[in-house]
């Protein structure tokens, strides 16, 4: 489960938390929580332990407890419609068929949170989508996956500083350098 494509958001959060020496993970808000600082900003990392389709049941109580507005929240998730390793950031928008986003949308007052879409590619045939998303990354993907996760972590201060375009550019640059 840890290496499957649907978990690429958790992989990114784990790498960021490790890179910036966040506190140890502890169970809270129906998820695992770690705290740290990135670029002088206090950051709470949350990995919901609910089913993906119920992620909002973890995000909402954490947001309420810390008095976070939707615009203070950033969600990292897998995106079928992006090539493997491509990253796009935007604020707000629809769920585009992603049940985890649909749940978060339903539990927050507005869907105006930041979204970091991480490309896992499309298998080419709609009938193969479920197996692709829930399948593990093959060994052949190891190089680009490790480079991507390291690039996301190294570029995180730009995201914490609300500079999404600079974050995406830096991630892309770091991927080409490695």
Report yes or no: 116 and 90 within 8 Å, Cβ to Cβ.
Answer: no
Confirm whether 6 is a catalytic residue. Answer: yes
Q: Which of 6, 19, 107, 132 is catalytic?
A: 6
The residue behind tokens 């840890």 is 2
The residue behind tokens 């830096």 is 170
CA distance 145 to 12: 10
CA distance 40 to 164: 17
According to DSSP, residue 23 is labeled P
Catalytic residues: 6
């Amino acid at each position: 489960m840890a290496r499957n494509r649907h978990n690429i958001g958790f992989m990114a959060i784990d790498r960021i938390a490790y890179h910036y020496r966040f506190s140890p993970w502890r169970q809270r808000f129906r998820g695992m929580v770690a705290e740290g600082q990135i670029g002088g900003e206090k950051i709470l990392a949350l990995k919901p332990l609910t089913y993906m389709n119920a992620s909002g049941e973890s995000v909402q109580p954490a947001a309420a407890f810390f008095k976070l507005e939707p615009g203070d929240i950033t969600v990292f998730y897998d995106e079928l419609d992006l090539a493997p390793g491509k990253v796009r950031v935007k604020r707000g928008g629809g769920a585009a068929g992603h049940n985890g986003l649909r749940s978060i949308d339903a539990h927050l007052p507005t869907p105006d949170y930041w979204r970091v879409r991480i490309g896992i590619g499309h298998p080419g045939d709609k009938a193969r989508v479920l197996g692709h998303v829930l399948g593990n990354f093959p060994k052949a993907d190891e190089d680009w996956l490790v480079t991507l996760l390291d690039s996301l972590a190294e570029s995180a201060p730009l995201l914490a500083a609300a500079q999404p375009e600079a974050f995406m550019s830096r991630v892309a640059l770091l991927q080409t350098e490695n």
